Every structure is written in structure tokens, then in C-alpha cells.
């Protein structure tokens, strides 16, 4: 099944008319959409399947501090963004996933050394997109993306993650960063 992934850098290419037309078309065809927006038009991606901001982007957009450890707050943020899954990246804390009807799950970051965080968000978006396209659940996609981000930030600059590196991180990773921890009594099955 086709998937649609967009990564906007606020350069003006994705104007509201294009965003709306593409989202409507994707919805009409049952094509899942994965969005990693920036400031401009942050709320212009309603009905996205996956919405993946980082904590700073979400805080700026909502005008309030993010509370990733509060399942009710995460559900409210997900609802305000009108998406099925809010995947919020938290830097050194990992990422948190809030899914419609499935609660909120924290995926702790690896304690692997961080060299450079440039490109980490792009890595997460790309791996989530690939994992979903291959049939993974959203939770499985988040685990895989968390492993990939751990590898990516251990390299200088914007770097790629090889299949072998991803397998190595997932297989023996440092403190098994893919083990999800429930937040606020909620968990994803």
C-alpha cells in the first residue's frame, strides 16, 4: 500500500492549497500520511496518520510547555493536532507515542554517546515511514526509529544509518532502548 511522507523545512513549497489537496487525496485513497512539520502551517496537516514534531516545535506551536510524561496532556495535544498518532521526539529522553485509543508510551533513548543531533528528526521520520510501509505497527515503527536515531546521533553531521548498524543497535543495543515504558498507566499492546 502506498504511504505519503512529507518533511517540510518552511521554504514555501508546501502551501496550504497543496497540503489540503494532497491530504484530501490521500484520505480518499486510504493512503497513510506521515508529517514532520515546522513552524509555518504547523496546524495545517489535519487528519495526518502520524504527526512527528520535536518537543521544541510542539511547545512553540502550542504556546505552552510540553508534558510528555502526562498521558492526558499527550492525548489532548494529539487531539488538537487531529492525527492518529503523535510521535514526539524528546532528544536525550527518547520519544513518546500517543495513539488514538491506545494511550501513551515512552520509548527511552539509548545511553549511546551523542556526537551530533543534526538529522535525527529526519532519520525518525524516514524509518517510521519505511517501517509502516513494510507493515509494522506504529509501536514497532517507533521502536525501530528509536534504534535508528541512536545510531544516527552517534555520528558527526547529518549521517545515514545502515541496515547492519540498525540490526546491531536493535539486537544488543545499549540498555535495550526499544523497551517501551508505560506512561501514566497507559500502554500500547
Instruction: Provide the residue ranges of all domains of the chain, joining segments of one domain with +.
Output: 4-182
Name the burial class of residue 29, with classes exposed (0-12), middle (13-18) and buried (19+) by CB atoms within 10 angstroms of its CB.
exposed
* Residue 48 phi, psi dihedral angles, 5° rounding: -65, 150
Quote the percentage of the chain above a pLDDT of 70.
Answer: 84
112 versus 84: the higher-pLDDT residue is 84
Return the HEC string of the chain.
CCCEEEECCCCCCCCHHHHHHHHHHHHHHCCCEEEECCCCCCCCCCCCCEECCEHHHHHHHHCCCCCCCCHHHHHHHHHHHCCCEEEEECHHHCEEEEECCCEEEEECCCCCCCCCCCCHHHHHHHHHHHHHHCCCCHHHHHHHHHHHHHHHCCCCCCCCCCHHHHHHHHHHCCCCCCCCEEECCECCC
Average pLDDT over residues 147-164: 85
pLDDT at 61 over 60: yes
What is the per-residue pLDDT for 66? 95
pLDDT tens sequence across 119-153: 788 899 999 998 888 889 999 999 999 999 988 88
Taking the CA atoms of the chain, what radius of gyration do you get in angstroms?
16
Q: Which of 4, 40, 43 is nearest to 25 (CA)?
A: 4
What is the per-residue pLDDT for 31? 85
Q: Which CATH number, 3.40.50.10860, 3.40.1190.20, 3.40.50.720, 1.25.40.10, labels domain 4-182? A: 3.40.1190.20
Any idea which of 109-113, 177-181, 184-188 has the lowest mean pLDDT? 184-188
pLDDT tens sequence across 63-84: 999 999 999 999 999 999 999 9
Please state, in angstroms and rounded to a whole number, the distance separating the CA atoms of residues 118 and 15: 26
pLDDT at 181 over 60: no
The CA–CA distances, whole Å, from 127 to 80, 123, 162 equal 25, 6, 11
Confidence band, pLDDT 50/70/90 cuts, at residue 6: low
pLDDT at 59 over 80: yes
What is the per-residue pLDDT for 184? 40
What is the per-residue pLDDT for 187? 38
**Residues identified as active-site:** 122
Which pTM value belongs to this model? Answer: 0.82
Average pLDDT over residues 83-100: 94
- The answer to whether residues 55 and 66 touch, using CB atoms and an 8 Å cutoff, is yes
Amino acid at each position: 500500500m502506498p504511504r505519503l511522507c512529507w518533511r517540510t523545512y518552511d521554504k514555501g513549497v508546501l502551501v496550504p492549497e497543496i497540503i489540503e489537496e494532497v491530504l484530501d487525496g490521500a484520505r480518499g485513497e486510504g493512503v497513510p500520511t506521515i508529517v514532520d512539520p515546522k513552524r509555518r502551517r504547523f496546524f495545517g496537516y489535519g487528519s495526518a496518520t502520524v504527526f512527528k514534531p520535536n518537543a521544541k516545535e510542539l511547545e512553540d506551536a502550542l504556546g505552552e510547555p510540553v508534558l510528555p510524561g502526562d498521558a492526558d496532556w499527550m492525548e489532548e495535544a494529539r487531539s488538537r493536532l487531529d492525527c492518529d498518532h503523535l510521535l514526539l521526539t524528546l532528544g536525550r529522553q527518547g520519544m513518546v507515542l500517543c495513539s488514538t485509543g491506545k494511550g501513551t508510551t515512552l520509548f527511552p533513548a539509548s545511553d549511546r554517546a551523542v556526537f551530533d543531533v543534526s538529522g535525527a528528526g529526519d532519520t525518525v521520520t524516514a524509518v517510521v515511514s519505511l517501517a509502516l510501509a513494510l507493515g509494522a505497527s506504529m509501536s514497532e515503527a517507533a521502536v525501530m526509529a528509536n534504534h535508528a536515531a541512536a545510531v544516527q546521533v552517534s555520528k558527526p553531521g547529518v549521517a545515514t544509518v545502515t541496515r547492519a548498524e540498525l540490526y546491531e543497535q536493535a539486537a544488543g543495543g545499549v540498555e535495550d532502548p526499544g523497551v517501551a515504558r508505560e506512561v501514566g498507566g497507559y500502554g500500547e499492546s
